[in-house]
Structure 1
């Protein structure tokens, strides 16, 4: 005897359970939609990029003269202050040049002083010669008058011929003396002119010697290389005994003043402006959160300033979204901020609202 199949009325449909599941899924979808909508409104106007790096003005330390390194005063990653002595090059060659230039200056100054003394003597001699000319001229004038008077007296027979001859001789002697004094004035004037030229030449030699000494002093100062700025020594590539050439890289000094260069897509720049606040995350320090602000936006894409800019006049042009460098400066960094080294990756988020 077979068992009869249950009728449809005997198996009740679980409608309440299905209804509960439907409500559950609707609630989940609604929650997801609310969260998505909330995230959209919260992140609207927040522009971020992972194509961003820490930058700084890294200064290369190079010698201005060639020579053998005698001393190195710093090590890699050492903190230095602007003006700290970093490297010293053997100064003996430049010291010898400096000493020679100093001696040349002393010799030039001595010759210049001697020329000035000679000029003073010759000028005094010229004044004396002019004074003697004045005396000789006065004497000649007197003898001329005396000769004329003697001639008149002789005509009247008051004096003898001898007296007239004596007056004539005195007049001739006074004239000869005056001529001699005038020649001495001319000679003394020539001596003054010559000594004036010697003084000018001596002065020029002194100035030349001073310039040579300053050049030697400057080259001697190049033997000591100082830190150009506060910072940390990196890429040290010099040891005592090395022979270095002018301009060769000895080390670099990385300053503490750093900033961020973020390469944003051109489509992200519509509402970006200078001064907008920025939140900065550093890949090396996940727990570190820094703040800053947009300082400037480069007037040109990174590709436009590359070594080999792309040529778009060809037939195989493919449009790609360009990136524009944006400079972001940090707000005041806490004193316990870890090292922010140039080249570190960061993620800046600019609030453009």
Structure 2
């Protein structure tokens, strides 16, 4: 088929085709298209900066969804062992400080108390006997003093009689036998004085022994009274009371169950709650004590925003407190940004009444102004 197109370059002479090639120019792009492409590039760069929160779109706060409601639950445990007689509360009930929770059987503790009271009375009776012995020993000492004085008087008379006979024997007025008898009487009187003095020392030693026994008995009385107080304390501890005010968790003990000292019966969650936000280590330098924060608890929805302040910053990352720490020296090392716990207290304590411990939250903490 023959092409009838008069503009076909194959039908043009060589000179004409060469002239046409020299006069051809590419089409110029319009300025509007160039501006559109440039605008798209700028918009893309701005979008990337905004998406990654890079300058100039860096926020004035630090945000993390790695945050949870925390509290300090108190474990309720018995201080004495025994069988549970009665449980006076229900699961999840709110209790006041000092409210009775559990009653342990008291029979054995009441018997121990009676035994301790009897021990105190017994020691006090012994003390009464010691007081009597002390009075008797004091009376014996007084008797010994009288005996000594009597012996001394007898000794003085014997010496006087002996002196008179000594003068008479020189004049042969008395017999030699009477004189020697008077000398023997003097010696007997001296020995009687020594005996009376020795008996007094024995009586005084008895007083000292009674004093020692009294001190020992007083210690025994104190020990018995301490045992009585311990028995009273143990009896009072059979009634387990709430150490703080708060809400109970599930009760783990049943009536009739034998519980040991320190067993976990239940826990009390106080109304004092706070937020622990785990912040990246690269952002922790922009947080300081007292910085305000906004809190959104997942359970309350994003529309209800609570406020608080940073009150404490952990001295180490969360991984340092974990049981199984990572060991970078093994060679399998992947650098991961660590998290530092930050404690945030609610501005309004009543806000904590709307939430429960363990709930998840989103936290925004204002950065420190440079």
Deviations 1:155-176 (A, max 9, x none): 3467787985785575355335
**Is contact 2:273–2:352 with CA below 8 Å preserved after alignment?**
no
CA distance in 1, matches of 2:58, 2:292: 14
SS at structure 1 position matched to 2:321: coil
CA distance in 2, matches of 1:131, 1:288: 100
CA distance in 2, matches of 1:291, 1:198: 71
CA spacing shift, 1:39–1:291, aligned 2, 3 Å? farther
Match of residue 316 from structure 1: 332
Is residue 2:262 matched to residue 1:247? yes
TM-score (norm. length: structure 2): 0.78
Is residue 2:307 matched to residue 1:288? no
SS at structure 2 position matched to 1:225: strand
Worse-superposed segment, 104-113 or 217-226: 217-226
Deviations 1:165-195 (A, max 9, x none): 7855753553353244234223323422432
Match of residue 49 from structure 1: 64
Spell out the pairing of 1:155-234 with structure 2 (5 A cutoff).
Answer: 155-156=170-171, 168=183, 171-172=186-187, 174-234=189-249
CA distance in 2, matches of 1:258, 1:294: 14
Is residue 2:321 matched to residue 1:299? no
Q: Aligned residue pairs: how many? A: 337
Spell out the pairing of 1:21-170 with structure 2 (5 A cutoff).
Answer: 44-156=59-171, 168=183
**Is contact 2:271–2:352 with CA below 8 Å preserved after alignment?**
no
Q: Tell me by how many angstroms 1:236 deviates.
A: 1.2
CA spacing shift, 1:149–1:304, aligned 2, 3 Å? same
CA spacing shift, 1:241–1:339, aligned 2, 3 Å? farther
Match of residue 285 from structure 2: 270
SS at structure 1 position matched to 2:90: coil
Q: Tell me by how many angstroms 1:44 deviates.
A: 2.5
SS at structure 2 position matched to 1:178: helix
CA distance in 2, matches of 1:275, 1:116: 70
- Structure with higher Rg: it is 2
CA distance in 1, matches of 2:152, 2:58: 111
Report runs of 4+ in structure 1 exceeding 4 Å deviation: 38-43, 156-170
CA spacing shift, 1:40–1:83, aligned 2, 3 Å? farther
Q: Tell me by how many angstroms 1:47 deviates.
A: 0.6
CA spacing shift, 1:41–1:277, aligned 2, 3 Å? farther
Q: Tell me by how many angstroms 1:252 deviates.
A: 0.5
CA spacing shift, 1:124–1:40, aligned 2, 3 Å? farther
Worse-superposed segment, 90-99 or 336-345: 336-345
**Is contact 2:346–2:352 with CA below 8 Å preserved after alignment?**
no
SS at structure 2 position matched to 1:238: coil
Q: Which of 351, 354, 359 does residue 339 from structure 1 map onto?
A: 354
Deviations 1:173-227 (A, max 9, x none): 5335324423422332342243233223322322332232233223223211111
CA distance in 1, matches of 2:283, 2:157: 111
SS at structure 2 position matched to 1:316: coil
CA distance in 2, matches of 1:291, 1:39: 26
TM-score (norm. length: structure 1): 0.82
SS at structure 1 position matched to 2:309: strand
Match of residue 3 from structure 2: none
Worse-superposed segment, 134-143 or 158-167: 158-167
Task: Structure 1: give runs of 5+ residues left out of the alignment.
Answer: 1-14
CA spacing shift, 1:225–1:214, aligned 2, 3 Å? same
Q: Tell me by how many angstroms 1:238 deviates.
A: 2.2
